[in-house]
């Protein structure tokens, strides 16, 4: 390979890297409110979006523990304990994110009653998680007990997720109607 061919290959690689990196860097730039990425497109819902994401992660862990408890021949206590701790961490994060969303909503907001309901579902999930965690910390973990607790946790998290998603849509529609933007279709 000649020196000229090597130079052409290096230049081609540089052009490709720049072509990929620049749009990504531009998209990740912070807005005036310090928000990055897709959240810039949804004003006023950042706390709600974080809460929704944390609830989804909690649901994923609860489903994972449920499946593991159902399918494993023998439940490894170390695995069950680790997964239960992650589930608990995600539920706690959802509760923390919900507190931030409440602050964003402000006093007297119509959102507060929905946020209160979501808070109750998360509190119920956290209480049931304590029972799950106690089981997962035993030397012999009972899969049927874990499945029962995970099922109850999922019932609470599913309700919280549905209410959270509906709240986000409601806030977005309110922001859209306040902006006066209308979409006319031909």
To the question of pTM greater than 0.85 for the whole model, the response is no
Asked if residues 153 and 131 have their Cβ atoms less than 8 Å apart, the reply is no
Lowest mean pLDDT among 54-63, 92-101, 105-114, 177-186: 177-186
Rounded to the nearest 10 degrees, what angle do helices 111-136 and 46-71 cross at? 30
SS3 103: helix
Run of H or E residues at 52: helix 46-71
27 pLDDT higher than 80: no
Q: Give CA–CA dist 18/25, Å, rounded.
A: 10
Q: Give CA–CA dist 126/153, Å, rounded.
A: 8
34 pLDDT higher than 60: no
Of 124 and 103, more confident:
124
With respect to CATH, is domain 43-175 assigned 3.30.470?
Answer: no
- What residue spans define the domains of the chain? 43-175
> pLDDT per residue over 146-170, tens digit each?
999 999 999 999 999 999 888 888 8
Asked if residues 132 and 150 have their Cβ atoms less than 8 Å apart, the reply is yes
User: What are the residues whose beta carbons fall under 8 Å from the beta carbon of 123, sequence distance 6 or more?
Assistant: 95
Rounded to the nearest 10 degrees, what angle do helices 77-105 and 143-179 cross at? 20
């Amino acid at each position: 390979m000649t020196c000229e061919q090597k130079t052409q290959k290096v230049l081609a690689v540089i052009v490709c890297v720049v072509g990929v990196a620049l749009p990504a860097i531009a998209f990740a730039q912070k807005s005036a409110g310090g928000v990055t990425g897709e959240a810039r497109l949804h004003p006023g819902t950042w706390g709600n979006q974080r809460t929704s994401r944390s609830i989804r992660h909690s649901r994923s862990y609860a489903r994972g523990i449920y499946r593991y408890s159902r399918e494993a021949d023998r439940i490894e206590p170390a695995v069950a304990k680790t997964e239960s701790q992650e589930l608990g961490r995600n539920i706690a994060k959802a509760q923390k994110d919900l507190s931030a969303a409440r602050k964003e909503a402000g006093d007297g907001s119509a959102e507060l009653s929905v946020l209160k309901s979501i808070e109750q579902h998360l509190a119920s999930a956290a209480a049931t998680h304590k029972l799950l965690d106690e089981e997962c910390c035993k030397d012999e973990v009972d899969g049927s007990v874990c499945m029962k607790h995970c099922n109850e946790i999922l019932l609470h998290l599913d309700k919280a997720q549905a209410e959270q998603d509906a709240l986000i849509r409601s806030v977005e529609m309110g922001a859209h109607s306040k902006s006066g933007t209308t979409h006319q279709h031909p």
